[in-house]
């Protein structure tokens, strides 16, 4: 739980630079709900109540390719899932199943951090099941990560449609094993997992009664969201609401970094100013790291920690000591990171501006890099002139070319909207969808790609003005949770209860 990488650790953010599309831009911010360090809500009471003995681990012999009948498609791998049956009322009363759809992180880092499931299991008498996404954690095809990630031929089975089919197979398997044919399933996910939950309800309505899709930016594809209303516009709004002077200082800092970097010994001086853990070789990597800090703070701007305010307090507090813009920026860095011997350990791994930060090779980043290149093409960091960041235009053809150079296959930027929909989303969902909760916090930059209006009685948008990324899913804390967050969770529970009531009535009708 100490890593920033995780699920409800994954709502982690890796930033695309304003410079021409580099390999950094292949790392679209990972989508997930987990916090850590200063970005982690004070949920210690709930987390300390987590009892690992209540959870049992299983492995399902999963099909490699659900959509092909070639002989090699019938190869299998071991897919991990975890069950908590402590609260389950049993199949004899068709008690429900809450299924957490794992996303781009190891399942082990998810379970203790998704408080919504165990905290509501008792009142629903629900069975809890957590399913690992293929190619993450221990659910690796081809026997090892080395083999699975060796080239596009083995990575070709790594996509959202295959993942949804995996979940379907496992849920059918578990229900069969438990003789729970009529137990309704509610799928739950946060961020990318939230997208998967909404898409699962659309593609497998016979398996899932409903879906809770938390902070799911299902519209961030195919140019649906214009840059002026996008991710970085909300980051900017969060900082500007915290402090106008802080916003102006950050906005001014980028050109000052460029100016110093262009001077003799400029990069060396920037390394000294920011006390970097490794010598800077490009200004790009410094700006990348600072953008990461700001966007991560905005995405996880929880009421118990308020990292945006912490950064701005550091920046504004330094104004009484200096007029130096970069000294103020460094003060904001110290405020959020604490006193350390060095900062910004995301250092370039080579002198090239195309070099990835040295910590971008962990297994989660490796998997998300492929997903971002293949189908999850989200121009999150395209930005106009209305933010505190330098303007950047997303060049989709350059992006495709970079992905092809890295993996040998081009991106498919239009595939998500083709397969799941996205354009005219209200009309589309109204015509053929039901029983989905789209929950959001408006301080979350990803809420820019969200559904924020009720579409029908059962397609419901639940959002809070001051909420952050996947905040409704993390463990509750009665001593710190504001009333609006408590109410958001209650509303979601009541909606699910309504689905259950309707389902059980229909079950009695059609069984009689």
Which of the residues are catalytic?
A: 191, 444, 469
Rounded Cα–Cα distance for residues 267 and 503 (Å):
64
DSSP characters over 491-504: HHHHHHHHHHHHHH
Contacts with 11 (C-beta within 8 Å, 6 or more apart), sequence order = 30, 31, 32, 33, 34, 35, 190, 191, 215, 299, 300, 446, 469, 470
Rounded Cα–Cα distance for residues 263 and 267 (Å):
8
Q: Can you point out the beta strands (E) in 427-476?
A: 436-441, 459-464
Rounded Cα–Cα distance for residues 336 and 297 (Å):
9
**Residue 391: CB atoms within 10 Å:** 12
Give start and end residues of each alpha helix (H) in 243-306: 244-261, 266-273, 283-299
Give the helix, strand, coil percentages of the chain, each rounded to 5: 45, 10, 45
DSSP-derived pairing of the beta strands 185-190 and 97-101: parallel
Question: CA-based angle 66:11:413, to the nearest 5?
Answer: 50
Rounded Cα–Cα distance for residues 340 and 336 (Å):
11
**In Å, what is the CA distance from 407 to each residue of 372, 375, 400, 404?**
12, 13, 10, 5
> How many Å from the N-terminal Cα to the C-terminal Cα in the chain?
49
Which residues are paired to 76 by β-bridges?
63
Exposure string over 239-262, b if 16+ CB within 10 A, otherwise e: bbebbeebbebbbebbeebeebbe
């Amino acid at each position: 739980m100490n890593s920033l990488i995780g699920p409800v650790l994954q709502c982690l953010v890796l930033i695309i630079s304003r410079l021409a599309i580099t390999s950094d831009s292949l790392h679209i911010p990972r989508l997930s709900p987990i916090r850590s360090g200063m970005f982690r809500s004070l949920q210690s009471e709930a987390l300390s109540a987590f009892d690992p003995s209540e959870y049992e681990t299983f492995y399902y012999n999963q099909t490699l390719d659900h959509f092909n009948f070639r002989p090699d498609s019938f190869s299998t791998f071991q897919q991990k899932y975890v069950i908590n049956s402590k609260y389950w009322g049993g199949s004899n009363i068709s008690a429900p199943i809450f299924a957490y759809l794992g996303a781009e992180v190891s399942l082990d880092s998810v379970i203790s951090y998704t408080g919504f499931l165990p905290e509501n299991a008792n009142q629903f008498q629900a069975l809890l099941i957590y399913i690992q996404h293929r190619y993450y954690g221990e659910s690796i095809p081809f026997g090892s990560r080395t083999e699975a990630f060796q080239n596009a031929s083995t990575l070709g089975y790594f996509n959202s449609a295959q993942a949804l089919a995996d979940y379907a197979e496992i849920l059918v398997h578990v229900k069969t094993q438990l003789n729970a044919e009529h137990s309704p399933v509610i799928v739950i996910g946060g961020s990318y997992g939230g997208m998967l939950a909404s898409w699962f309800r659309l593609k497998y309505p016979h398996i899932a009664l409903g879906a809770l899709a938390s902070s799911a930016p299902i519209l961030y594809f195919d140019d649906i969201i214009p840059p002026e209303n996008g991710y970085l516009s909300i980051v900017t709004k969060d900082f500007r609401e915290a402090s106008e002077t802080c916003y102006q200082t950050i906005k001014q800092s980028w050109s000052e970094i460029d100016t110093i970097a262009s001077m003799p010994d400029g990069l060396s001086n920037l390394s000294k100013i920011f006390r970097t853990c490794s010598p800077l070789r490009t200004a790009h990597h410094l700006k990348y790291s600072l953008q990461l800090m700001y966007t991560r703070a905005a995405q996880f701007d929880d009421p118990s920690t308020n990292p945006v305010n912490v950064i701005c307090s550091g920046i504004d507090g330094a104004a009484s000591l200096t007029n130096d813009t970069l000294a103020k920026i460094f003060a904001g860095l110290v405020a959020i990171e604490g006193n350390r011997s060095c900062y910004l350990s995301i250092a370039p791994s080579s002198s090239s501006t195309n070099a990835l930060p040295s910590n971008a090779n962990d297994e989660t980043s490796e998997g998300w890099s492929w997903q971002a290149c293949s189908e999850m093409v989200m121009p999150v960091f395209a930005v106009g002139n209305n933010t505190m960041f330098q303007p950047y235009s997303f060049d989709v053809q350059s992006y495709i070319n970079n992905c092809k150079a890295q993996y040998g296959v081009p991106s498919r930027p239009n595939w998500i909207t083709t397969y799941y929909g996205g354009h005219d989303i209200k009309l589309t969902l109204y015509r053929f969808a039901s029983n989905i909760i789209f929950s959001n916090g408006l301080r979350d930059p990803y809420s820019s790609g969200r559904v924020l209006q009720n579409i029908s009685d059962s397609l419901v948008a639940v959002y809070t003005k001051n909420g952050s990324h996947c905040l409704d899913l993390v463990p509750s804390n009665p001593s710190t949770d504001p009333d609006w967050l408590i109410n958001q969770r209650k509303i979601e529970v009541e909606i699910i209860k309504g689905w259950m009531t309707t389902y059980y009535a229909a079950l009695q009708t059609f069984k009689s």
